Structure 1
Amino acid sequence: MGAGLAGLSAAHHLINAGVTVTVVEAASRVGGRMVTDTVEGFRLDRGSQLLCTSYPELGRTPGLSALRLLPLTPSGPAPAGARRGHRGVDPRAVWDRARLGAALGRLASTPTGRLLARPETTTATALATRSFPPRAVDSLLRPLLASLLHDPGLGSSSLCADLVLRGYAKGRIAVPAGGAGVLPELLAAALPPGTVRLGVRATSVAANTVGTDRGGPIPCRAAVVATGARDACALLPGLRLPAFHPVTVLHHEAPEPPLRESLLVLGGDRGERAHALPAGGRGGPVAHTMVASAVDPSRAPADRTLVTSTVLGPLTDQLEPRVRAHLAELYGTDTSRWRLLAAHHDPDAVPAMPPPHDVRRRVRVLWGLYVCGDHRDTSTAQGAMFSGRRAAHHVMRDFGIRPGYGDTARELPAVA
């Protein structure tokens, strides 16, 4: 149950093995937290989903052959008083980039088992003790990992940070063409007709039946709970409820593009102080921002400009004016005429991953009852889809089902 990335991934792997599957989804559309709204012709993501082209599950999950990823280049803020793009070349920065590239290359080639065998601490502590160039840590790695982990304080497990950073080292940060909602929509469209039942909420779950609020209970031989962590804990009272990182996404229309490159503009290294800083001066609440219409023209009507920005942390008073002031600094331009199209706040956006964090939390509750979602692996799209595949393979093993063509029921690695 649940038509987010984890549930749709599990459904595909089970159907590929010949299993009959019904997916019940309480919402009126698929995607869970990964949905895209259409407002005045703009395509606006409700959440902040940064993918990586090296995510293995994007290639392993059936139905995603038509997915088109648009790469982004991470970039720090523009110098104070300067428009973005007008900056000199610092020889020290060139040397730091070379050292950082070599360090990331070593990380990309490190086997998963060796990464997970490292001593675990917080991401902030790990960055301070690793061999990365200090200036590169401050200007790129800290704000980049804060955005990828949705964790401004960098209190996440260093093991999770290593896995995320290795993904960045092996590929490119990217967003789906057409909006984040395209990914689950493609997965759902590739399922047999009638597999997904929208507008049906699961009210109870057991190994042989799923209670719903419409149409009565659904009998089954096995049930997979593929919801967010809070709903999963309500349906399966034995599960542990994690803490969450809240996220706010704001979409502005600008009179003209503040830049025309496919850049992910990072807000800088402010950590937990971001929400205490005033609107004026250097600093502000934005973790990252992009000119979405320059990255993906399909997200805005012709000749109109969409700027999408992400704030990490609780919703505060006067957030939008503070964001607008910060965007003026980040882009080096006047934002007084920018118009807010939409803002979406999710207090449970991303499950927290403080140390010690089990990157492979159990997905088998008991024989015939399973659970998956980003709260069972790493809190990423990769983790959500991978947990769905793990749950499907546990079903196959428990019921003696042979995997479908191109799949395998062997013991899966902790992460890939």
Structure 2
Amino acid sequence: MLEPAYQADVVVVGAGIAGLAAAHRLTSQGVTTTVLEAAHAVGGRSATEKVDGFRLDRIGQPLSTACPGLRLTPGLDGLALLPFAPGVLLHSEGRHHRAGVPAGARGARGALHAVRALASAPRSVPAPRRLVSAAGTTGRPVPASRARAGAPLGTAVDQARLGAALARLAGTPAERLLARPELSAAQALAVRGLPARTIDGFLRPLLAALLSDPDLTTSSRCADLALRQFACGRLGLPEGGAEALPELLARGLPPGTVRTGVRVTSVATNAVTTAEHGVIRCRAVLVATDARAAAELLPGLRVPGFHPVTLVHHTTDEPPTTGTALLLDADRGGPVAHTAVVSNVDPSRAPAGRALVSSTVLGAPPPDVDTAVRIHLSRLYGTPTTRWETLAVHHTPEAVPAMRPPHDPRRPVRLLAGLYVCGDHRDTSGIQGALHSAHRASAAILTDLGAARPVHAADPTPTAGAAA
């Protein structure tokens, strides 16, 4: 029997979120597509480990309900994104403070009116603060319902100015943000005209959580996009764990499209070579792996720096009383950047009667990370943690591609006619960048395959998205 000229129109290498999203767009246009994944499960870095009824993410970045890729990507219409409480909860000087709650219908005009009204308002005398011991095991926890609003943000006028700035940012088109002068996020914060207490007490810890970048070396344009999504929506978690996104995408593809356990050893414009099944011929190849694996297949491809992330999971039968809040440390008094009782947000992540507390350490973790995290959590939550059970410690050295200036959020996805690359390392790091990169790459493939594969109008996604 004669071997067919090709066995698929397109071979996608990598079954992460970018590769699966691109396969959705290609198959929806009638392009026969095969997705090859070296691992035995889809998802890449969006992985969830199952331990004794718990669902434990390996990276676990919070997503925004305002992320356009989640709404517009085919195959993700069934995704359940469960929101945290509005804004974030800040821990500062032994107290909890609610911050960053959206201004609502008032928008920027209402926030500016608040600035004028508060400018002449008398200052209230702050209540005495209850100090917590160095070990963080004394005192009672502060219920989320009693959390004070805004103390780390400065005066009431400062808080209103921050609200006005966030409201203006929410109404600014993404293209205008991308046209702003580019600095590092840390440098940009210093020249924005906000009080130092507002920057250090709120914006720094918030951006560190959104970008997985504790030193804020990220491009100020990408940081602005991240803040814009925060101001426009709510932070949340996918129901069932981070793996819910890639699994939902994979289930929506035609049967047999995704093949796991297949390692690609080389690529060309019309074929891929695999260790298990030899050569697979095609009309185009899309490399949708992480940046380092892509560079191994495509010599000369730039590999960015990375931000390491460590996720520590604990369980207890006496959960802290912070509700569904995402808790950030405004004082930066320990290794934990942000933490939450994630089983309060998504009950499917823990068995009945148990609470799952997931905490994120950014940068290089301390030598005894679990002990350091427990001590820090006892201060953040105001409750003893010595009896908490450690479920897992996941350290990912290359968790998030760095986006240091100058950062190009439109890195080419077409290397040659017939050879393409996508992933969050080609746009902005995170889920939105992966989805938008997949959209650009699949659109380029459809164009190059010609009139036999009609190209539909591009989805109205922004040119680049913030990290989720």
Instruction: State TM-score, norm by structure 2.
Output: 0.82
SS at match of 1:361: coil
- Cα contact 2:142–2:322 (8 A) shared by 1: no
Match in the other structure for 2:376: 326
Match in the other structure for 1:316: 366
Q: Identify if the C-alpha distance between structure 1 residues 410 and 349 changes in structure 2 by more than 3 Å, giving closer, same or farther.
A: closer
SS at match of 1:76: strand
Report Cα offsets for 1:62-107 as digits up to 9, x if no partner. 1112111111241111524252235556785544332222111111
Q: Identify if the C-alpha distance between structure 1 residues 93 and 212 changes in structure 2 by more than 3 Å, giving closer, same or farther.
A: farther
Cα distance in structure 2, aligned partners of 1:193 and 1:88 = 53
**1:414 is aligned to 2:452:** no
Deviation at 1:324, TM superposition (A): 0.5
Q: Identify if the C-alpha distance between structure 1 residues 20 and 126 changes in structure 2 by more than 3 Å, giving closer, same or farther.
A: same
1:204 to 259, 263, 266: 266
Match in the other structure for 1:304: 354
1:255 to 310, 314, 317: 317
Match in the other structure for 2:60: 48
Match in the other structure for 1:278: none
1:237 to 294, 299, 322: 299
Which residue identity is paired with 2:27? I
SS at match of 1:187: helix
32-41 or 261-270: bigger deviation: 261-270
2:46 to 29, 34, 59: 34
Gaps of 5+ in 2: 1-12, 96-130, 133-138
1:59 to 65, 71, 83: 71
Q: Identify if the C-alpha distance between structure 1 residues 162 and 115 changes in structure 2 by more than 3 Å, giving closer, same or farther.
A: same
Match in the other structure for 1:120: 182
- Cα contact 1:227–1:373 (8 A) shared by 2: yes
Q: Which of structures 1 and 2 has the bigger CA Rg? A: 2
Cα distance in structure 2, aligned partners of 1:269 and 1:145 = 14
Match in the other structure for 2:445: 395
Cα distance in structure 2, aligned partners of 1:307 and 1:208 = 48
**1:76 is aligned to 2:138:** no
SS at match of 1:146: helix
Match in the other structure for 1:288: 338
Deviation at 1:254, TM superposition (A): 1.6
74-83 or 176-185: bigger deviation: 74-83
Which residue identity is paired with 1:246? P
Cα distance in structure 2, aligned partners of 1:402 and 1:268 = 56
Deviation at 1:289, TM superposition (A): 0.5
Cα distance in structure 2, aligned partners of 1:186 and 1:411 = 22
Cα distance in structure 1, aligned partners of 2:150 and 2:19 = 48
Deviation at 1:317, TM superposition (A): 1.3
Q: How many residues align?
A: 403
Q: What pairs up with 1:2-401 in 2 under 5 angstroms? A: 2-72=14-84, 73-77=87-91, 78-79=94-95, 80-81=131-132, 83-85=141-143, 94-268=156-330, 270=332, 283-401=333-451
Cα distance in structure 1, aligned partners of 2:340 and 2:301 = 37
Q: Over aligned residue pairs, what C-alpha RMSD do you find?
A: 1.9
Q: Identify if the C-alpha distance between structure 1 residues 128 and 39 changes in structure 2 by more than 3 Å, giving closer, same or farther.
A: same
- Cα contact 1:99–1:133 (8 A) shared by 2: no
Q: Equivalent pairs: percent with the same residue?
A: 57
Cα distance in structure 2, aligned partners of 1:21 and 1:3 = 12
- Cα contact 1:103–1:131 (8 A) shared by 2: no
Cα distance in structure 1, aligned partners of 2:169 and 2:389 = 42
Q: Identify if the C-alpha distance between structure 1 residues 410 and 302 changes in structure 2 by more than 3 Å, giving closer, same or farther.
A: closer
Deviation at 1:214, TM superposition (A): 1.1
Q: Identify if the C-alpha distance between structure 1 residues 107 and 234 changes in structure 2 by more than 3 Å, giving closer, same or farther.
A: same
Q: Identify if the C-alpha distance between structure 1 residues 90 and 25 changes in structure 2 by more than 3 Å, giving closer, same or farther.
A: closer
Cα distance in structure 1, aligned partners of 2:150 and 2:208 = 25
Which residue identity is paired with 2:429? S
Cα distance in structure 2, aligned partners of 1:54 and 1:88 = 26
SS at match of 2:186: helix
Which residue identity is paired with 2:142? R
Which residue identity is paired with 1:34? S
Cα distance in structure 2, aligned partners of 1:98 and 1:402 = 56
- Cα contact 1:34–1:49 (8 A) shared by 2: no
Which residue identity is paired with 1:150? S
Deviation at 1:267, TM superposition (A): 2.3
Deviation at 1:255, TM superposition (A): 2.9
Gaps of 5+ in 1: 271-282
Deviation at 1:409, TM superposition (A): 4.6
SS at match of 2:67: coil
Deviation at 1:123, TM superposition (A): 0.4
Which residue identity is paired with 2:75? G
Deviation at 1:48, TM superposition (A): 2.2
- Cα contact 1:103–1:132 (8 A) shared by 2: no
Report Cα offsets for 1:102-123 as digits up to 9, x if no partner. 1111111112222112111010
- Cα contact 1:96–1:135 (8 A) shared by 2: no
Q: Identify if the C-alpha distance between structure 1 residues 371 and 131 changes in structure 2 by more than 3 Å, giving closer, same or farther.
A: same
Runs of 4+ in 1 over 6 A off after TM superposition: 402-405
Q: Identify if the C-alpha distance between structure 1 residues 301 and 93 changes in structure 2 by more than 3 Å, giving closer, same or farther.
A: farther
- Cα contact 2:72–2:461 (8 A) shared by 1: no
Cα distance in structure 1, aligned partners of 2:451 and 2:22 = 14
Cα distance in structure 1, aligned partners of 2:368 and 2:69 = 39
Cα distance in structure 2, aligned partners of 1:400 and 1:411 = 22
Q: Identify if the C-alpha distance between structure 1 residues 132 and 318 changes in structure 2 by more than 3 Å, giving closer, same or farther.
A: same
90-99 or 69-78: bigger deviation: 90-99
SS at match of 1:58: helix
Q: Identify if the C-alpha distance between structure 1 residues 412 and 329 changes in structure 2 by more than 3 Å, giving closer, same or farther.
A: closer
Deviation at 1:261, TM superposition (A): 1.4
Deviation at 1:234, TM superposition (A): 0.6
Which residue identity is paired with 2:418? G
SS at match of 1:348: strand
